[in-house]
Amino acid sequence: ETGVTQSPTHLIKTRGQQVTLRCSSQSGHNTVSWYQQALGQGPQFIFQYYREEENGRGNFPPRFSGLQFPNYSSELNVNALELDDSALYLCASSLESGTGGGYTFGSGTRLTVV
């Protein structure tokens, strides 16, 4: 059973650019959620996808968007990058949306915006 895999591990972008982060969910999981973690803070919910549909969104602007694919892998896209977007981005997968079976997290992507 494979866990959650995220790529890339590190990324440096310039303000105003666009970035795409990728996540492969754990085998058998059909729900993927994305979190942003600033230094010294707990992870903040960005959005969640269940069976390729967005079914929850946190307090993030529309320039944060995502996709989930038929194999349940997912992408997080951020347009018009700002310096405050620098953070660790975490992807988590779970068995079913709302069943409370626990979440499995990936190792994260460290994004630095300069």
Partner 1 sequence: KQEVTQIPAALSVPEGENLVLNCSFTDSAIYNLQWFRQDPGKGLTSLLLIQSSQREQTSGRLNASLDKSSGRSTLYIAASQPGDSATYLCAVFSGNTPLVFGKGTRLSVIA
Q: Interface with partner 1 by CB under 8 A: which range of 11-19, 50-58, 67-75, 79-87? A: 50-58
Residues 6 or more apart whose Cβ sits within 8 Å of residue 43: 35, 36, 37, 90
Q: Give min distance, CB of 28 to partner 1, in A.
A: 16
Q: Interface with partner 1 by CB under 8 A: which range of 14-22, 68-76, 78-86, 106-114? A: 106-114
Count of residues near partner 1 by CB under 8 A = 27
Q: Report the 10 Å Cβ neighbour count for 48.
A: 22
Q: Is 70 left (phi over 0), alpha (psi -120 to 50) or beta?
A: alpha
Site residues for partner 1 per CB under 8 A: 6, 33, 35, 40-45, 48, 55-56, 58, 88, 90, 92, 97-98, 100, 102-108, 110
